[in-house]
Amino acid sequence: MIFDESDQPPVPTSSAEPARRRRRRRSSSESSAHRRSGKGSSSFSEAARFEDLPSFRSDRNAKAWLWVLALLILGTLGFAWFLQMDRSTPRQLEGEAPSTKLLPLIDPILAPLETGPTGYSTEYLAELQSSFHTDQEKTDLADRQVYTTAATMAQILQEAVEDRARHIDRLIKLGSPVEGSAPDFQTRTDLPETERRHFELAVGISWQRNSGNYRNRVEELWYRLLRLEQGRFNLGSNTHSMMPKPSSETRNHE
């Protein structure tokens, strides 16, 4: 039996197997390391490429917004320049300036009652308003304020003429002398002189208060009308003067 066992082929030793395993592990680790290195480089390049895209897009968006902002600024400046030129060079209007038609009416209508009737009827003031409205329809929106202001002044003066006529009629019925007015047959002659003077004073104070209110409203519109007329009518067609001052009779009455 000893010889039989000696004839069998030798069994490979266990020391060779670990060497092969070490070579296989080394090769597999090298290949995996190579794969990892290759994968890492590609992922880095892709990440770098994708990181560059948002910055590029943000630059383009910023430039676009800058262009839009620049266009808005230019448009605003151009519109402001247009408005400035439009205001500085008003369009010339035809005809006579409304202030020249209204100026002769103010003092006579708002004068003390003792001066008598003004000579201007309510029908004349109504026609003057109508003419201003007609001229207003012929102009554009920027020039209509000239005629609307003048028409408002004519309306106030028309109210003053009506109010003045009522006060003069009261004085005539009291028997008070009014210049340019005929005495009324219905004049009360039974009133004592002191009582008649008392009523005359009451009528005068009433007209003084009302005419002061009319003058304040007309004066405010007068200065506004002169500002609106500047540069819109030919030289000499409008007065460009100050508001007419109260006459000496008005100051003495007040």
> Which has the closest alpha carbon to 154: 178, 130, 119?
130
Contact of 167 with 203, CB cutoff 8 Å: yes
One-letter amino acid at 160 equals A
Which of the 8 DSSP states describes residue 238? S
- pTM for the full model? 0.58
Residues in the chain: 254
- Digit-coded pLDDT (tens) for 161-219: 999 999 998 888 887 777 756 555 455 556 677 888 888 899 999 999 999 999 999 99
> Which has the closest alpha carbon to 221: 102, 89, 88, 128?
102
Q: For residue 159, count other CB atoms closer than 10 A to its CB.
A: 16
Contact of 160 with 109, CB cutoff 8 Å: yes
The structure tokens listed for 221 are 């519109």
- Digit-coded pLDDT (tens) for 67-99: 888 888 988 888 777 666 555 555 667 778 999
* Most confident by average pLDDT, 27-36, 115-124, 191-200, 232-241: 115-124
Contact of 199 with 188, CB cutoff 8 Å: no
- Digit-coded pLDDT (tens) for 143-159: 889 999 999 999 999 99
- Digit-coded pLDDT (tens) for 206-242: 999 999 999 999 999 999 999 988 888 775 444 444 4
